[in-house]
Structure 1
């Protein structure tokens, strides 16, 4: 995995907001070097974004974490 630039963070945020219809979505630079870029909704971090550069082909993988305690009760 390679580092995600500031320009890429902005482009990812714009694209994800449009694709997911989520204006409250933000893509945040890592809090300190060596950590992952964070994906947040309304300020709450819900996952991470990783960049892969394979022979010049760039892709991004999103890992979303949902805690069972945050789910609604079973019906």
Structure 2
């Protein structure tokens, strides 16, 4: 993703979830997605649908995290 897209997504997540510790980061060697972190903890991936111009957020929830 382009740096301006990452900045916009970063601001969006911080605003929507009211948490300034959220951070969107570029992925090494991947240009179609970015990573979302809360501090040092990886939360998920944000993908861009090039055809539609929309973004999709994907977050895996592990069984051990629910215990």
If the TM-score is normalised by the length of the shorter chain, which range does it land in?
0.7 to 0.9
Q: Over alpha carbons, which structure has the higher Rg?
A: 1
Cα root mean square deviation, aligned: 1.5
Spell out the pairing of 1:39-58 with structure 2 (5 A cutoff).
39-54=36-51, 57-58=52-53
Deviation at 1:65, TM superposition (A): 1.5
TM-score by length of 1: 0.77
Moved over 6 A (4+): none
> How many residue pairs end up in the alignment?
66
Deviation per residue, 1:21-64 (Å, 9 max, x gap): 1111110110x21374111112211100100122xx41100001
Question: What are structure 2's unaligned runs of at least 5 residues?
Answer: none
TM-score by length of 2: 0.85
